[in-house]
Amino acid sequence: MTAVRRLKISPTMQKNLPEVVNRFLGYKQAQGLAPRSLMDYQHTFNKFMQYTTSDELAVAPLQDALLLFFQRFKDQSPTSYNIPYKNLNCFFAWCIEQEYLSQNPLKRIGLKIKKDTPKVKHHDADTISKLIKAPGLGTLTGLRDYSLMLLTLDCGIRPSEAFGLRIPDIDFVHKRVTISAAISKTRVARELPLSAPVLQTLEKLISVRLTQFEDYVFMGLDGNPLNRNSWNRRLALYCEKAGIEKVRPYDLRHCFAIMFIRNGGDPFALQILMGHADLQMTKLYVKLANSDVVKQHTQSSPVKQFVKRSTRVTKLFR
């Protein structure tokens, strides 16, 4: 086997932070990283380099910049802290591998990842029922939004994955949709079964779509795929129209997962449908579903109908 030769980098480039960052981003893009993740990396670097005093790529000045940079997250959520932490940690690990750095400056100053418990917002069936009745089905945007709501509630697809769907991804014969590796958050493809009402709605949407644009299933009138911000705004409008509490795009995915478990679904099947790498998040859904069971039991246990006699015990000995 021919040995792989490491590309030699000039001493000047080794010390130039912006150039090395661009090289790292190119490497990540070549790996097939999702566009959204690349944007997160770019955002992290843009913010971090506001705290650097020079373009030198060296451990000592990087440590100083990191301490200042992460001070801005002291009052923010673990998620707000963890995303840039993971991005920078990955970058520094790559720099060590490529021999740009000898040590990881994040590890040197002792910063660690923060424990983050995922926040799952669940809405009851009445709220969701009012939401899906809000879009007007006589318009293309209304039919599109209604279709996306049903799709998410039927299979738990991630919003970002739904936005990337193209017409060939939907198999009307075998009643399933394919999430390709290119749009999957985990970069692992999976197939999701679809119910008949959802297929009928998607078929109707595709039949009236604007054919002069690309073949994205969910797109705006300008031909561009729907995105997270626009979908969030659309849901907010429907919630206001229906007179219900705010429902976020990811809430529909959470509702699918919790109701799937309540309706007797298997946790391992849910893990596959949701595209989770492990059971950690799935266990959270099971826990939330079971907490509702306890509440329902407290309210509805049949034994209350039968046990109405006094259980007061008379003392036999004084």
Amino acid at 240: E
Specify whether the CB–CB gap between 273 and 155 falls below 8 A: yes
* Residue 227 tokens, joined: 């995105």
Query: Scanning the structure block, which residue is given the tokens 């669940």?
Result: 122
Residue 180 has phi, psi (to 5 degrees) of: -70, 160
User: Does the structure show a pLDDT above 90 at 64?
Assistant: yes
DSSP H helical segments within 225-309, as ranges?
228-242, 249-262, 267-274, 280-300, 303-306
Q: What is the CATH number of the domain that holds 194?
A: 1.10.443.10
Question: d(Cα 91, Cα 71) in Å, to the nearest integer?
Answer: 20
pLDDT for 305 equals 58
Residues 266 and 234 reside in one and the same domain: yes
Specify whether the CB–CB gap between 194 and 200 falls below 8 A: no
Residues 163 and 91 reside in one and the same domain: no
Range of the domain at 38: 11-108
In a domain, 305, yes or no: no
Question: d(Cα 304, Cα 218) in Å, to the nearest integer?
Answer: 50
Residues 23 and 146 reside in one and the same domain: no
Residues 85 and 156 reside in one and the same domain: no
Of the candidates 61, 49, 58, 50, which has an alpha carbon nearest to the alpha carbon of residue 18? 49
List CB contacts of 233: < 8 A, sequence separation 6 or more: none
- 264 torsion bin: left (phi>0), alpha (psi -120 to 50), beta (else): left
Residues 141 and 87 reside in one and the same domain: no
User: Does the structure show a pLDDT above 80 at 211?
Assistant: no
pTM, full prediction:
0.70
In a domain, 304, yes or no: no
Residues 142 and 17 reside in one and the same domain: no
Residues 133 and 268 reside in one and the same domain: yes
DSSP code of residue 188: -
Q: Tell me the pLDDT band of 79, cut-offs 50, 70 and 90.
A: confident
Choose the final residue of a domain: 75, 108, 141: 108
In a domain, 18, yes or no: yes
Residues 83 and 210 reside in one and the same domain: no
- 167 torsion bin: left (phi>0), alpha (psi -120 to 50), beta (else): alpha
User: Does the structure show a pLDDT above 70 at 82?
Assistant: yes
Query: Scanning the structure block, which residue is given the tokens 């940690």?
Result: 89
Residues 64 and 176 reside in one and the same domain: no
List CB contacts of 174: < 8 A, sequence separation 6 or more: none
In a domain, 308, yes or no: no
DSSP code of residue 190: E
Question: d(Cα 90, Cα 122) in Å, to the nearest integer?
Answer: 33
Choose the final residue of a domain: 108, 138, 164: 108
Sheet with 190-193, strands from edge to edge, namely 170-171, 176-179, 190-193
Question: d(Cα 179, Cα 276) in Å, to the nearest integer?
Answer: 13
Residues 162 and 40 reside in one and the same domain: no
pLDDT 10s digits, 5-47: 444 444 444 568 999 999 999 999 998 887 778 889 999 999 9
In a domain, 117, yes or no: no
Mean pLDDT of the chain: 85
Residues 70 and 16 reside in one and the same domain: yes
pLDDT 10s digits, 136-164: 999 999 999 999 999 999 999 999 999 99
Residues 183 and 271 reside in one and the same domain: yes
In a domain, 312, yes or no: no
Task: Count up the domains in the chain and report the number.
Answer: 2
Q: What is the CATH number of the domain that holds 78?
A: 1.10.150.130
In a domain, 303, yes or no: no
